[in-house]
Amino acid sequence: MNPYWSALVRDLRPYVPGEQPKLSNLVKLNTNENPYPPSPKVLEAIRAELGASLRLYPDPNAETLKRAIAQYQGIGTDQVFVGNGSDEVLAHAFQALLKHPLPILFPDITYSFYPVYCGLYDIAYTCVPLTDSYEIRVEDYMRPNGGIVFPNPNAPTGRLLPLADIETLLGRNRDSVVIVDEAYIDFGGDSAAALVNQFPNLLVIQTLSKSRSLAGLRVGFAFGHEGLIEALERVKGSFNSYPLDRLAIAGGVAAFEDRDHFEWSRQAIMWTRQWVAQALADLGFEVLPSAANFVFARHPSHDAGELAAALRERHIIVRHFRLPRIDQFLRVTIGTEEECQILLDALSELVAGKA
Ligand code: PMP
């Protein structure tokens, strides 16, 4: 290939998604999916849609879904944007809202897609280190910037930034767009969605992938001031005039209607998380406090890479990041009680030598 083009391709640094193994007999605790099925009402709605109208284009404004989300959040429909998973919503938000002469700020460590978007859209960024206890400190974000983005709870640490701190951050950065990526907020955090009418510079992004068990349906959404939402619509509309397919719209609406299923599943995960965190601590792991559907933990005398490899031999897949500062941590998705028991039995064998 012409060297100019090969250099262009080389500089396009892709995001590497978590592994989706083809084997089915695995305890899969590596990509933070929900271990429970989605609401039966979602499946019913998708089946009905399948039978009725797949030959027709979907609504280019996804009105029914936007209305369901707006009602759920108590905001206006024109304050809601929808896309194919929050990854796509984030991509459009970076492109529409974070181009600025000053670098944007995001934490180091955080979701590894952010630098990929910056590379793709030519956005300068500065990484702001977490504290020694892996927390975001809002005082570190009180400097001139072209925008701020962070997950809350953070990934892959699981640590939560309290809403009061987010309010302080927003108040001190009124000229910057602040994006709060709430992929995991339903597992014990307070959503910043409550602040969107107070701060026109705030964009909150959420997903149906985690707490609603719909990672395969690809539905993400954002709330914010009408002006920010309009910017996202303009970018998205120039890629594809249909924001979501018919099945995603129908399933998404039903997901918001079934509050009981949602409550049950998130409570089950939070309960299991507490149990797993305590059991890991009993095995000698240091476990960071988590408000997400995963825990981030390290053992003082066992290499995380070796533990992950030994678990894999036992058909248990967890995540291990070979990155400075967190190289010794494992990130373990909270599965069903049964899956977590299999993991804990294996770890107790590996760490404590118990058969
Ligand atoms: N944000 C964070 C922090 C995540 O961990 C993920 C999941 N990988 C996403 C966004 C994207 O989720 P989805 O595209 O499935 O909505």
CA of 148 to the centre of ligand 1 (A): 17
Mean pLDDT of 23-46: 94
Quote the Cα angle for 340-220-45, to 5°: 85
CATH topology identical between 3-37+260-352 and 41-258: no
The C-alpha atoms of residue 84 and residue 101 are separated, in whole angstroms, by: 29
The C-alpha atoms of residue 307 and residue 281 are separated, in whole angstroms, by: 16
Residue 153's Cβ-side half-sphere holds a number of Cα atoms within 13 Å equal to: 23
Binding pocket residue ranges, ligand 1, CB within 6 Å: 85-87, 111, 151, 155, 181, 183, 207, 209, 215, 220
pLDDT attached to residue 355: 47
Mean pLDDT of 183-205: 97
Which atom of ligand 1 lies at the shortest distance from residue 208's CA?
Answer: 16
CA of 348 to the centre of ligand 1 (A): 30
User: Which of 30, 34, 86 to mutate to test ligand 1, by most ligand atoms within 8 A of the CB atom?
Assistant: 86
CA of 86 to the centre of ligand 1 (A): 6
CA of 298 to the centre of ligand 1 (A): 23
User: Which of 69, 112, 207, 334 to mutate to test ligand 1, by most ligand atoms within 8 A of the CB atom?
Assistant: 207
Which atom of ligand 1 lies at the shortest distance from residue 220's CA?
Answer: 16
Which atom of ligand 1 lies at the shortest distance from residue 84's CA?
Answer: 14
Mean pLDDT of 245-252: 97
Cβ neighbours of residue 190 under 8 Å, at least 6 residues apart?
162, 163
Which atom of ligand 1 lies at the shortest distance from residue 90's CA?
Answer: 10
CA of 285 to the centre of ligand 1 (A): 26
The C-alpha atoms of residue 303 and residue 246 are separated, in whole angstroms, by: 46
CA of 183 to the centre of ligand 1 (A): 6
In the predicted model, what is the mean pLDDT of the chain? 95
Which atom of ligand 1 lies at the shortest distance from residue 111's CA?
Answer: 3
pLDDT beyond 90 at 21: no
Give the pTM: 0.96
Indicate the pLDDT class of residue 158, thresholds 50, 70 and 90: very high
CA of 112 to the centre of ligand 1 (A): 10
pLDDT beyond 60 at 264: yes
User: Which of 159, 209, 294 to mutate to test ligand 1, by most ligand atoms within 8 A of the CB atom?
Assistant: 209
Mean pLDDT of 82-105: 97
- For the chain, the structural domain boundaries read 3-37+260-352, 41-258
CA of 87 to the centre of ligand 1 (A): 6
Which atom of ligand 1 lies at the shortest distance from residue 17's CA?
Answer: 8
pLDDT attached to residue 354: 55
pLDDT attached to residue 16: 77
Tens of pLDDT along 222-244?
999 999 999 999 999 888 888 89
Architecture of the domain delimited by 41-258: 3-Layer(aba) Sandwich (3.40)
Q: Which CATH superfamily is domain 3-37+260-352 in?
A: Aspartate Aminotransferase, domain 1 (3.90.1150.10)
The C-alpha atoms of residue 270 and residue 291 are separated, in whole angstroms, by: 8
Pairing of strands 220-224, 202-207: antiparallel
Tens of pLDDT along 120-138?
999 999 999 999 999 999 9
Residue 123's Cβ-side half-sphere holds a number of Cα atoms within 13 Å equal to: 28
The C-alpha atoms of residue 204 and residue 8 are separated, in whole angstroms, by: 33
Per the model's pLDDT, the better-predicted residue between 6 and 45 turns out to be: 45
Contact between residue 202 and residue 178 where contact means Cβ atoms under 8 Å apart: yes
Kindly report the protein residue whose alpha carbon is nearest to atom 1 of ligand 1. 183
Burial class (CB in 10 A: 0-12, 13-18, 19+), 175: exposed
pLDDT attached to residue 182: 98
Indicate the pLDDT class of residue 110, thresholds 50, 70 and 90: very high
pLDDT attached to residue 336: 98
Contact between residue 74 and residue 223 where contact means Cβ atoms under 8 Å apart: no
Contact between residue 227 and residue 247 where contact means Cβ atoms under 8 Å apart: no
